[in-house]
Structure 1
Amino acid sequence: MSSIVPGPQKKIGEEIDAARSGAKPLDPSALNATAPRQEALNGLDDWPESLRAAIEAEHKRVAALDSNRRRTADKAVPELVKCLDTLLDEIANRLQADKPRLFGKATPAAEPSEDVAELLGIPADELDQPSGRGEHRTALRTIKQLHGQLKDLETTPDHSRLTRLATFTIRLALVVEAAPETAGALAPIALARFTQGVSDFQWEATFQEKLNSWREAHATLTSP
């Protein structure tokens, strides 16, 4: 015995009729048969607004790409760029605050943690790199370059590049926010590796895999 499955247009009509009759509220996603229901991004309520906004913007873009809605993904780019610009500014501000002094007694820098470095994809054998004024200046120049790349990507979206840049920026901002004492040592190394095109294990991960990793990292770094 065969069953007849209603087509997209009939399904939409049924949803609207049910809403009009008061049988059930109208689900906005039902009006677009190709648009998937948005998953709730749970567990971010106590995160900084800038980080949460960037993750939500990236999720919106990736969800559109996953459902082959390229135009919708393109329209999500300006908001994502705005959020990533904000995170880069926050990282730069942290680096400025931790900049080694030219004169006087410098504040001892915290030893970079191998566990925190691993979250950024930095191998342990790269943690002994110098982190002086020169490295900080280079890191700040790199951040300016990333701002420029974002501006270009907003004009001409390249979603592969956006995925890499968003993944890198969100994760670095998370570490800088949750473990600010490590920023001075680890951020310059992470920025240098990114500009050198060093492969990152999260680039090929799904958004959900990244989100799970970011949640675990945040919980680890902020636990007493």
Structure 2
Amino acid sequence: MSSIVPGPKKKLEEDITAARAGAKPLDASDLNPSAPRPEKLTGLDDWPETLRATIEAEHTRVTALETNRRQTADRAVPALVHGLDTLLSELADHLNTTKPGLFTKPTTPEPNADIAALLGIPPEDLPTTPSRADYRTAQRTIKQLRSHLKDLETTPDHARLTRLTTFLIRLAVVMEAAPTPTTTLTPTALTRFTNNSPDPQRNATFPEKLTTWQQTRQSLTTP
């Protein structure tokens, strides 16, 4: 009995569908066999799965953009959006479980200046301990960002994707390594992002960002 082997175009469509569903993101050579294969990222083996997959998807997208392959970069967007949406969902769940109760005082610690610096929050913007209202605002912002991601998946805007991805990965890295102090600062970090406040990593290259993320995680998790 003979079997039908999908052609290259059909196989590519299946791979893109799998990437959209959260499977391993496509790299440039999957999307264009003649394209250079992105350098494999190292030092992420012990990172949380969602965070690692999101960074890998961003690497695929950025590599395509840097080699002037816009269509390839566009095809890498679904896997990236899936990862970012999952990170936002996890962030929303975390904030929901740590927000102060209706009749209780906040139990989160005072804002930490060192953690704030890692999140790009300058000393003059260091907040007070967030209230329930601050957490509600943060949840609304997360909801808006998730909606924005859907728009970016449909009509990719790579400049906006780069800014959003840089912000969310950095926040996720610090949150994963130091959840308690980061929780206190998350509402301020989200507000600064929506207000288009200056971002210290905005013009950094992907290798520079990756190095910073890795150094940040190591410094926060090393006793």
- Aligned mates of 2:77, 2:130 — CA distance in 1: 34
**Deviating more after overlay: 121-130 vs 131-140:** 121-130
**Which residue number in structure 1 is paired with residue 124 of structure 2?**
125
Query: Residues 46-57 of structure 1 correspond to what in structure 2 (within 5 A)?
Result: 46-57=46-57
Query: Residues 89-128 of structure 1 correspond to what in structure 2 (within 5 A)?
Result: 89-104=89-104, 106=105, 108-128=107-127
**Which residue number in structure 1 is paired with residue 37 of structure 2?**
37
TM-score of the superposed pair, with normalisation by structure 1: 0.83
- Corresponding residue pairs, total: 194
Q: Judge conservation of contact 1:90–1:173 (CA < 8 Å) in 2.
A: no
Letter in 1 for 2:114: D
**Deviating more after overlay: 52-61 vs 175-184:** 175-184
- Aligned mates of 2:33, 2:101 — CA distance in 1: 57
Q: Judge conservation of contact 2:170–2:213 (CA < 8 Å) in 1.
A: yes
Q: Judge conservation of contact 2:84–2:168 (CA < 8 Å) in 1.
A: yes
Letter in 2 for 1:56: E
Q: Judge conservation of contact 1:94–1:176 (CA < 8 Å) in 2.
A: no
SS at match of 2:76: helix
SS at match of 2:165: helix
SS at match of 2:51: helix
SS at match of 1:137: helix
1:110 is displaced (CA, Å) by: 1.8
Letter in 2 for 1:138: T
Q: Judge conservation of contact 2:111–2:128 (CA < 8 Å) in 1.
A: no
Letter in 2 for 1:185: T
1:130 is displaced (CA, Å) by: 4.5
Q: CA RMSD in A?
A: 1.6
TM-score of the superposed pair, with normalisation by structure 2: 0.83
1:184 is displaced (CA, Å) by: 2.5
Offset from partner CA, 1:64-115 (integer Å, 9 cap, x none)? 00011100000000110000000001111111111111124x4631222211
Offset from partner CA, 1:97-151 (integer Å, 9 cap, x none)? 11111124x4631222211111110012222335000000000000000001100
Structure 1's consecutive aligned runs of 4 or more residues displaced over 4 angstroms after TM superposition are: none
- Tell whether 2:187 aligns with 1:188: yes
Letter in 2 for 1:152: D
SS at match of 1:95: helix
**Which residue number in structure 1 is paired with residue 156 of structure 2?**
157
Offset from partner CA, 1:166-186 (integer Å, 9 cap, x none)? 000111111111111013311
Letter in 2 for 1:140: Q
Higher Rg: 1
- Aligned mates of 1:91, 1:183 — CA distance in 2: 11
| Uncovered stretches (5+) of structure 1, i.e. residues with no partner | 1-27
- Aligned mates of 2:213, 2:51 — CA distance in 1: 11
SS at match of 1:184: helix
Offset from partner CA, 1:191-222 (integer Å, 9 cap, x none)? 00000011212111000000000000000111
